[in-house]
Amino acid sequence: MDLLLIGPPGVGKGTQAARLRQALGVPHLSTGDLLRRHVAEGTRLGAAAAAHMQRGDLVPDELVTEMALGQILGPSCAAGVVLDGFPRTPAQAEALDTALAAHGRRLTAVLHLNAPARTLLRRLTGRRTCGGCGDSYHLDTRKPRTPGRCDSCGQRLVQRTDDTAETARTRLAVHARQTQPLLARYHQAGVLHEVDGCGDVGAITRRLLAAVAPYAAGDQDASRSTGWPTSPVRSSLS
Ligand code: AP5
């Protein structure tokens, strides 16, 4: 099952993709996380991407596409993937469709999460991320047990450099201009599902799982006839 979580910055794509990974047994690929790793490790790709990310702009298509497709077509995603943050432009979407088709795959479903701008800005500016393991917290809605320290590994929590109010506004505008137009493409392809990104994290996960349940059932039917492994929807998330 190849799923795409699409939506504006701060809507909860990373939060929900991690929960879908757990529920569906499909790996989660975040191009934002991959790029931040490249920046932290000082690779050539990281050096080329850093200034774009710092400003809240998109990293050029050719850099991101090569990096993302390398992962999506690699062995870890061979049985499917939950995409978070890729594609974000028409050129990236075209490249993804072509690459998947060449491997007999296509996007199973595109899940569009949305929420009002004031909610997105609150989520972005209040986010704090662990500098060690990358776990994500929020000053109001997901506080760590010890202020400023990660519950999982104890490392210091930091604010992402692109989570300031000014850069967050730029990112929202970039999303509206460059990524939102992809919704028409996926609507036309008959794979788009609108999912309300407001409210409790668990309730949003349940909405997403309800949207993909018919496809998960299809996967199980397919696996019975092909012998491929299944990815059952587990309902243990609260
Ligand atoms: P990326 O890291 O992908 O950033 P983004 O899309 O802007 O998304 P975020 O990670 O900010 O938000 P999210 O939707 O994942 O929300 P989260 O779950 O964390 O990309 C960063 C940059 O990399 C881009 O700006 C660009 O420069 C570059 N880039 C990446 N991909 C690219 C591509 N394909 N092409 C070109 N450039 C690319 O939640 C946010 C906060 O809200 C957290 O604190 C969380 O705890 C909280 N929260 C989540 N859900 C809820 C809820 N239901 N209620 C209350 N709080 C909640």
The Cα–Cα gap between 130 and 33 comes to 12
Task: Tell me the pLDDT tens digit for each residue of 211-224.
Answer: 999 988 766 544 34
Active site residues: 13, 88, 127, 160, 171
- Using most ligand atoms within 8 A of CB, pick from 6, 15, 33, 89 the residue to mutate for ligand 1: 15
* pLDDT recorded at residue 223: 38
Task: Tell me the pLDDT tens digit for each residue of 21-77.
Answer: 999 999 999 999 999 999 999 999 999 999 999 999 999 999 999 999 999 999 999
Q: Nearest C-alpha to atom 44 of ligand 1 is from which residue?
A: 127
Q: What would the CATH number be for the domain defined by 2-115+165-237?
A: 3.40.50.300
The Cα–Cα gap between 72 and 165 comes to 32
Atom of ligand 1 nearest to the CA of 52: 27
SS3 percent helix, strand, coil of the chain, rounded to 5, is 50, 15, 35
* pLDDT recorded at residue 134: 86
- Are β-strands 157-158 and 109-114 bridged in parallel, bridged antiparallel, or unpaired? unpaired
Q: Where in the chain is the domain with CATH 3.40.50.300?
A: 2-115+165-237
Vertex 65, ends 77 and 39: CA angle to 5°? 90
Spatial CB neighbours of 227, under 8 Å, sequence gap ≥ 6:
none
The Cα–Cα gap between 123 and 173 comes to 16
Q: Are 97 and 105 in contact (CB under 8 A)?
A: no
Residues with CB under 6 A from ligand 1: 9-15, 30-32, 35, 52-53, 56-59, 64, 85-88, 92, 123-124, 127, 136, 138, 141-142, 162, 171, 201, 204
Q: How many Cβ atoms are within 10 Å of 112's Cβ, its own excluded?
A: 21
